[in-house]
Amino acid sequence: MIGQNENQGTGSAPKSIKGNKVWFITGTSRGFGRVWTEAALKRGDKVAATARNLDSIADFKEKYGKNVLTLPLDVTKPEQVKAALEQAHTYFGKLDIVFNNAGYSLVSTIEEASPDDVRALYETNILGPLSVIQAALPILRKQGYGHILGTSSNLGHVTFPVIGYYCSSKWAFESIHESLAAEIASFGIKVTIIEPGAYATEFGSPQSLKFATGMDIYADFKAKFFERLSTLERGDPEATPEALFKVVDAENPPLRFHLGSHNLPGVRAAYSERLKEWEAWDAVSSSAQGEAVKH
């Protein structure tokens, strides 16, 4: 895995650079986006808060005045993304953190989803964040610094049935950000993927879930899946801001950051199983190499 610098992961205490940070955050109307926006403002930072429905974030302006800029934003519209970032930069004079947080989940087995269902999911979860990144980079590069954050999931490493397309969007999200980190490190721009586990947010609300047209053959399977999902222990979203601030205040932030205590055991088990299977088939895999081809 490509790190952002040679000192990353040494276990040394992060250098605190608190206060006076300017954030640009997508998807701030509910869930983590709302929690993190309010927490940043409470600690004295400034935030360009965006949402599709401006009324849903009007209370930020009422409470925090000039320290917050509320902007309407649909991340699937690249020109609107570019205009919002430029407006935020003009208003605050800088952008320290650009945070891709908007997204939703598609509930569907692999067979059930239509191409339009999947396309719409990828437009929001992959192409939307990509538009934000591409519009932000000229600004951050000119500054000579910046930190790009993206909300992924522990499902960027493991998968569940019934939400496989959502998982696939997070796997793509992860790989894009890992490549990005290597490509922009020389410009002084850092990248961190935030990977929450199960939390008691509004992510399961109708606004954050879309359902493909179901097939009767999968009804029992999905019912059992959701029953099992309902038993998951969920973390408190309000407990997350301090951990997030340690990441953004760190001199050498991690490329990937698990949010919550349940992710690492699950990811460790998944990769252990993958390694075991790869190793069991290694002789067959190696036999397919053939003789070295010289040019």
Question: What positions carry a catalytic annotation?
Answer: 152, 166, 170
Spatial contact of 47 and 23, defined as CB atoms under 8 Å apart:
yes
Chain centroid to CA 260: how far?
14
- State the Cα–Cα distance between residues 109 and 60, nearest whole angstrom: 38
For residues 21, 30, 203 and 164, what is the CA-based torsion angle, rounded to 10 degrees? -60
Determine the Cα–Cα distance for residues 151 and 196; give it in Å rounded to an integer. 8
Question: What φ, ψ does residue 114 adopt, rounded to 5°?
Answer: -85, 160
Instruction: Give the end-to-end CA distance of the chain in Å, rounded to a whole number.
Output: 29
Instruction: List phi, psi (to 5°) of 141.
Output: -65, -40
Which of helix, strand or coil describes residue 36? helix
